[in-house]
Amino acid sequence: ASPRFMALQHTLASVDADVIAAFSSYSAFDYLHERAFDAVVLNAEGKRDIAFTISSAMRRNARLYHTPVLLLTDDVDTETSEEAFARGVSDLLPPGTDDTELRDRVLTLTSERRRRREAKATLEACRDTRSLDIETGLFHASFLTSHVEDLLQASARDELHFSMIA
């Protein structure tokens, strides 16, 4: 754990983020398989290859695929950036970035991850015989009509445009 990594952990803890630190790649994967995380910050200061390997491995794992990966780096150049994003890194946290920006960047990706999980859970909750024809896997026409009506009402209420492709 570098001083920067510890500062990030302290900054995240100050906003009640639940932070777990792993001190090896093996223990990191144990944690990742034991519970769901909203984001992963990898310390790539002086050991980029290990961080790239972990990020790549997460992208090959269906359960971890959508988990944002942020890289604490000691140097950002074009080659490093290209390699990082090719390996599935979501954001680079370069040196000189203040604690507040580091926290905000992590929390932005975290909230997006949570929003996607909630949307998925909502869609999964729709898989019910009242709304879905189990044999075909298609939604009943009445459910679709009701859903489109809800979307139209919400777009009118919020003064948003509504488009639909069928």
**Confidence at residue 160, expressed as pLDDT on a 0 to 100 scale:** 93
Residue 148's pLDDT is 92
Reported as a single tens digit per residue, the pLDDT across 10-20 is 888 888 888 88
Query: Contact 55/84 with Cβ under 8 angstroms?
Result: yes
Which residue type is seen at 92? L
61 secondary structure, DSSP code:
S
Q: Which two tokens stand for residue 34?
A: 């034991």
> Which amino acid type is present at position 23?
F
Distant-in-sequence, close-in-space partners of 9: CB < 8 Å, separation ≥ 6: 1, 19, 21
User: Considering only CA atoms, which of 69, 31, 67, 33 is closest in space to residue 50?
Assistant: 69
CA-to-CA distance for 93 and 143, rounded, in angstroms? 45
Q: Which ranges in 35-91 belong to alpha helices (H)? A: 48-60, 78-86
Written as six digits, the tokens of 7 are: 């500062």
- The residue-averaged pLDDT of 121-131 equals 79
Residue among 109, 102, 110, 81 at smallest CA distance from 4: 102
List pLDDT tens digits, range 94-122. Answer: 888 888 888 899 999 999 999 998 998 88
Cβ-Cβ contacts under 8 Å for 21 (sequence gap 6 or more): 1, 5, 9
Q: At 127, is the pLDDT very low, low, confident or very high (cuts 50, 70, 90)?
A: confident
Place of tokens 């729709």: 126
**Chain Cα centroid distance, residue 132:** 29
